[in-house]
Chains A and B, each alone.
Chain A
Amino acid sequence: MPVISPKDVAPPASRPPTSKLSAGLREQVRRLERAHTAQRAGRSAVPLDLPEIDALLPDGGLLAGALHEIEAGPAPSGRVAPHDGAALGFAAAILGRFTPGTILWCRQPSGVFDAPPYAPALAAWFDPARLLMVTTRREEDLFWAMEEGLRTPGIAAVLGETRAADSTAGRRLSLAAEKNGVPALLLRPQPAPPQSVCTTRWRVASAPSPKVAGIEMLGAARWQVELRRNRFGTPSCEEMPSWLLEWNDEAHHLAVVSQARPGSAGAGWRERLAG
């Protein structure tokens, strides 16, 4: 069983202040990238309404005309989870930010254990009547359908569920998204090799819900979200910034859970689990 644990990497809790020279270079690179992006049409960023995260993203939100990748991360124990309910929830939360219009959802059914997205749950984030579902057998059909969707006016967002990591297809999707100003999302049920040209890459794992002492009830859903790639964005003091998000199912509200030690996300519940 592959054991991937991002937490094995020691969090750079207290990075020494960067030298003046490197800060200047960083700023220069950013300005070059900005100049590059400004030429592209249909650039607009949609904020996630999570101030902590939006602060790091370019233009204060998710770029609309860009490719974003969301992958299901391993569980806290390091085991690769056989499901991606949390990653799908996070993807749906992002999709819900892009209104109005049709959402094109492309997927490859995975045989016997096929578990398609379930609309009564998705209704928390957006109206499932907006969904146009496409199932394909081959991955090239899936990428083709996504590209067609990106080119169509009236499409709010395009999501593709796939295990395939095709860098050419990723580049094409990214270009089509940039050209039309429509976001393309890739939802991966398992961590994929980092090779695609996405603007942001997120790793989402489900985290234990908050416990109330003495009651064995299930609390609000919590996700450990890690921003593994943030092109054009504000550099963070960490290598890979990470947050614990909480989804309130009653209030339909997503919020960042402030942790005892910001920067070493998840340390709190790891200790609790160990103990």
Chain B
Amino acid sequence: MRAGEKDWRARAAATVVWRDGCPRLAALNPQARTTGLSVHMRLADARALVPDLVTADGEPEADRKLIEALAGWCDRYTPWVAVDPLGSALAEEDATQVCSAGGFGGDAGLLLDVTGCGHLYGKEEAGERTLLADLVERLARHDFTCRAAMADTAGAAWALARYGEKQADLFCPRNGQRDALAPLPVDGLRLDPPILETFLKLGLRRIGDLYPLPRAPLSRRFGEQPLTRLDQMLGRVDEPIEPRRPPPAFRSRISFAEPIGRSEDIAAATSRLLAALCKQFEQASVGARKLEVALYRVDGSVDRTAIGTSRPNRDNPKLMKLFEDRLGELDPGFGVELMILSAPEVEEWTGAQDHLPETGTPAKSSWHEDGTIDLADRLAIRLGVENVTRLMPHDSHLPDRVQTNAPLATPVQAGAWARIAAMKGTRPTRLLQKPEPIDVTALLPDDPPRQFQWHRHTHRIVSVEGPERVADEWWRPRPGGRLMPANIVPPVRDYYRVEDNDGGRFWLFRDGSLNTAKWYLHGFCA
């Protein structure tokens, strides 16, 4: 598939990339293929064959981005969209290892698993045919030439899209792939080039030629690949499509006859989608942890935005409130023709039952009953999840490790803080994130401090409490990743609570052994 200028259509054209020390063809249009050119051919050889070949510099990175964007656009049909691994491999360095994906059209491809998606367009097979036609037509509107085929298996669709001769063949009816594929060239089997070459030499030109061959000699001669590919194509072996984005279990979509653009309309549509999705959640007894709304714009581009919640949620008004901030960031462009709301992350519902009066009194220790969690979600959307936290206690000797910031969903045991506070001595009300080095005067090296200097101000110490000795935790790995050697005495800190002549109370500590001791200010006491 390739968007191009008009005069490319009529003449042989190719893109050129520099590879293996000379310019080579990277992608060809159908006219170029009929003249006998092939991918990886040197540009000099190609010019000898087709003197008026139109060439352009290949941009593998731009091609990759384009195919990614197209894959995003295809999410409108199904969440199971994958970029064809063979097609994308062509843009890479060792592309010679990949089979020559020839036939009609270009090399890059998309695989869509539309199982169960056809019903949006009609009943049974008719719906699937309409879906296929709709896909081709919409892509053509955006000036893409594409060939789309539909079959029971990814392999069959791949071969049909590239080598199917007649337009009518491109839709392969259910269980019809054996007959439909028989007349296609073996290139359609997605084989490695050496195997393909041998096949051609042996006169195995059509896929149908392989059907009557005994399997054992075939695998002995060529390895597993031809049989695996054949089985995948005929549906004897499962070939899963690895989707580009993990497909959400829950989604709802709404398409508009007339493109919409006003933010009120988008909000109203989001609210309707949310209502439908919340009903799905309720049936499946789950709640959303993450929701994503995608706008499919008329120009073929997609804009997405997501919200996260700190607990499984299916409360329509609350989720809508979270979306309200985000919807403003979305750009409807020239108009939105389709919106899809999906829930990439869901969790088992832990909250209260819907539409039922409270019965009994469940443990209300958590924040879930009051509005705190919802408040936290609102704050996190604007300020970032890392900035909305709760304080988590840790059993540790080191004062800086006792308190950590934890995400909201983490439960804090009741009374854990009181227990920790009761175990230790008096602690400062503020703890410096990084202890500040200070100059301390003491009578003797292991005497309590007499005065200290911090920020060019001398604090004369009037009274002292301490020391409280805190030993380093030798069982924890050092920052370098190694444990402390057993024969070394772990460093200790001697903490003092001091009061200066101004009434200020500070928390100081002496670090290291007496001779090389350094003093630090670590906190401010009440």
Residues of A within 8 A of B (CB): 75-77, 79, 81-86, 88-89, 92, 101-102, 104, 112-124, 127-129, 131-136, 141, 144-145, 148-149, 152-155, 205-209, 211, 216-219, 221-224, 247, 249, 273
In the assembled complex, 26 residue pairs joining A and B whose CB atoms fall closer than 8 Å, in A order, are: A85-B524, A85-B525, A85-B526, A88-B429, A88-B524, A112-B434, A113-B436, A114-B432, A115-B433, A118-B399, A118-B429, A120-B420, A120-B424, A121-B421, A121-B428, A123-B421, A127-B418, A129-B414, A133-B391, A133-B405, A141-B383, A206-B505, A209-B463, A216-B464, A218-B505, A219-B463
Which chain A residues border B463 with CB–CB below 8 Å?
209, 211, 216-219
- In the complex, which residue of chain A has the Cβ closest to the Cβ of B374? A152
Q: Does B371 count as interface, using CB distance less than 8 angstroms?
A: yes
Cβ B504 vs Cβ A122 within 8 A: no
Query: Residue of A at shortest CB range from B364?
Result: A100
Q: Pick the contact of A128: B391, B431, B524 (CB < 8 A).
A: B391
Q: Which residues of A contact B378 (CB under 8 A)?
A: 148
Given contacts A123-B420, A133-B388, A208-B499, contact A144 B462 (CB under 8 A): no
Instruction: Label chain A's interface by main secondary structure.
Output: mixed
CB distance from B225 to the nearest CB of A (A): 57
| Cβ–Cβ contact A133 & B389, under 8 A | yes
Q: Are B390 and A118 in contact (CB under 8 A)?
A: no
Given contacts A115-B524, A132-B388, contact A152 B371 (CB under 8 A): yes
Which residues of chain B have C-beta atoms less than 8 A from A224's C-beta?
Answer: 503
Q: Is B498's beta carbon under 8 Å from chain A?
A: yes
Is there an interface contact between B390 and A133, defined as CB atoms closer than 8 Å? Answer: yes
B403 and A123 contact, CB distance less than 8 A:
no
Q: Please name all residues of chain B whose beta carbon is closer than 8 Å to the beta carbon of A153 when the two chains form the complex.
A: 370-371
> Residue of B at shortest CB range from A102?
B372
**Across-interface contacts of A155 in B (CB, < 8 A):** 370-372, 375
Shortest beta-carbon distance, A226 to chain B, in Å?
A: 14
Task: Compute the total of residue contacts between A and B using a CB distance below 8 Å.
Answer: 192
Contacts of A84 in B (CB 8 A): 430, 524
In the complex, B455 has a CB within 8 A of chain A: yes
Q: At the interface, is chain B mostly helix, strand, loop or mixed?
A: mixed
Given contacts A115-B523, A148-B379, contact A154 B431 (CB under 8 A): no
B202 to chain A, nearest CB (A): 70
Question: From B378, which residue of chain A is reached at the shortest CB distance?
Answer: A148
User: How far apart sit A116 and B132, CA to CA, in the bound complex (Å)?
Assistant: 60
* Chain A residues with CB below 8 A from B77, complex form: none
A217 to B393 CA separation, bound complex (whole angstroms): 29
CB-CB nearest in chain A for B393: A119
- Docked-complex contact B428 and A118, CB < 8 angstroms: yes
Tell me the count of chain B residues lying within 8 A, CB to CB, of chain A.
63
B286 at the interface (CB under 8 A from A): no
Q: A77-B502, A154-B372 are in contact. Are A115 and B391 (CB under 8 A)?
A: no
In the complex, the answer to whether A119 meets B503 with C-beta atoms within 8 Å is no
Q: How far is the CA of A150 from the CA of B387 in the complex (A)?
A: 18
Cβ-closest chain B residue relative to A88? B429
**Contact among A141, A144, A218 with B465 in the assembled complex (CB-CB below 8 Å):** A218
Question: In whole angstroms, how far apart are the Cα atoms of A149 and B501 in the complex?
Answer: 40
A129 to B460, CA, bound (A): 37
Contacting residues, chain A, for B403 (C-beta < 8 A) = 118-120
Q: Does B426 contact A (CB under 8 A)?
A: yes
| CB atoms of A129 and B371 under 8 A apart | no
* Minimum CB distance partner of A124 in chain B: B421
Contact A120 B402 (CB under 8 A): yes
Chain B residues whose C-beta falls within 8 Å of the C-beta of A136 in the assembled complex: 383, 387
0/1 per residue, B401-412, Cβ < 8 Å to A?
A: 011010010001
